[in-house]
Amino acid sequence: MDQHLLATNDEAAPVRIIHHTEGLLLPCDSVTPASPNKDVFAIFEAQPDMIGLPVVENGQPIGLINRNIFMQSMARPFHREVYLNKSCIAFMDKQPLIVDKKTSIQDLSFKVLEGGQKAMNDGFIIADDDRYLGVGTAQDMLRAIANLQADKNRLVMESIDYASVIQQSLSRPSREAMRKTLADHFLIWEPRDIVSGDFYHFQDYEDGFLVVLFDCTGHGVPGAFMTLIMSAFLQSALNTVSHDDPSAIIGAVNRLVKTAMGNIDHQHAGSADEEEGADDGMDAAFCWVDRRNRTLTYAGAHLPLLLLGPDDQEVRIVEGDRQGVGYAATPMDQVWQNHEVALPEGTCVYFFTDGLVDQLGGAKRIAFGKRRTREIILRHRRQTMPEQRAALLAALKEYQGTEPRKDDVSAIAFRL
């Protein structure tokens, strides 16, 4: 039989996973059209759990006698005297649901639904090339569907869990370089769905370091696939352009994405009957920090840079360009602006994906927002970066309340 076992919390009682109707087969007595009703009555009395009795002629099923209908009829006055010695076909359903043993559980469920309440109540006959084998019940079918779905969900979740391990492994070099290079920093990477559409890259060089935070189209598994693609394109771009020029890096990634994924704006790039391509990309913040000159060069696609100098009374926001990376509407030759700022000793630098500021919550179910984020940074500015991280996440959790997480939440911050 086409089945396997799914482990449960009770290891002594594994769940049977059934893929085909044969796995639901229950051997069952049968009668022939010549059998009198007294034989049917005797079988039902001897087997109180039987819900239907098949009628088989020359090995082929031709009908099904419903237990309840038959026994209720026999309980009526004089019915036993009149019908007990007559042929059982008087109480036979001549159009029962007959299913081949090789029918998948999914196809079986469709047939049972098409059969309506009768099939749910009476069950179905299982045959092998029209030869009678036994019966099956709707209850067993529903149980098989539930177990099959649970098994599929388990396999999917195991795959996603392992994908999370892979995704975190890919970012390990960046985390280790960050810890080695930055004495006071924090990293937030909280996927909404185990794996994330947010990702980050940190690379240390002799003259400075590069920080990249990006938010790809989607979240969960589709978003995670996009992070793998974007990471590969980022590494390719770093092999062709200078690591200290965020504008050049982001431009190179944009060209690679659009070329490889066919993200072309067909409204402006040819005839209307051209095949429509994909439209995936990312929002991103690219940041180069020059150690010798204590300067920071930033280029961004929607994701802003937040700065708080040691003497600043407000958190400064440096907005990136309003053009995503790699999307169909983004020109192939799009240029993102470099913003260069000085970094007095003690300056705090922050990047956030929009999962933080866009999270709904509070009494009015509105977004967490940039203003609230800046207020928390200001309130905890004298604390270490790990303490600031804890304060931000605590505030987000309290604000979110019972609202579901809307998106992946990621952030990078450091003090120089």
Encode pLDDT of 102-147 as tens digits: 999 999 999 998 888 888 888 999 999 999 999 999 999 999 998 9
Predicted local distance difference test score (pLDDT) of residue 14: 67
Q: pTM, whole model, 2 decimals? A: 0.72
**Digit-coded pLDDT (tens) for 177-187:** 999 999 999 99
Percent of the chain with pLDDT over 90: 70
pLDDT per position as a tens digit, 279-309: 789 999 999 999 999 999 999 999 999 999 9
Q: What is the pLDDT of residues 328-352, one digit of tens each?
A: 999 999 999 999 999 999 999 999 9
Residue 13: the pLDDT is 54
- Is the pLDDT score of 5 beyond 60? no
* Domains parsed from the chain with CATH numbers: 3-149 (3.10.580.10), 182-415 (3.60.40.10)
Find, among 298, 303, 322, the residue nearest to 370 by Cα: 303
Instruction: Give pLDDT, residue 273.
Output: 44
Rounded to an integer, what distance in angstroms lies between the CA atom of residue 226 and that of residue 280?
8
Would the pLDDT of 267 be above 70?
A: no
pLDDT at position 124 is: 94
pLDDT of 9 reads 46
Give the residue-averaged pLDDT of 234-255: 94
- Neighbour count for residue 41 (Cβ, 10 Å): 17
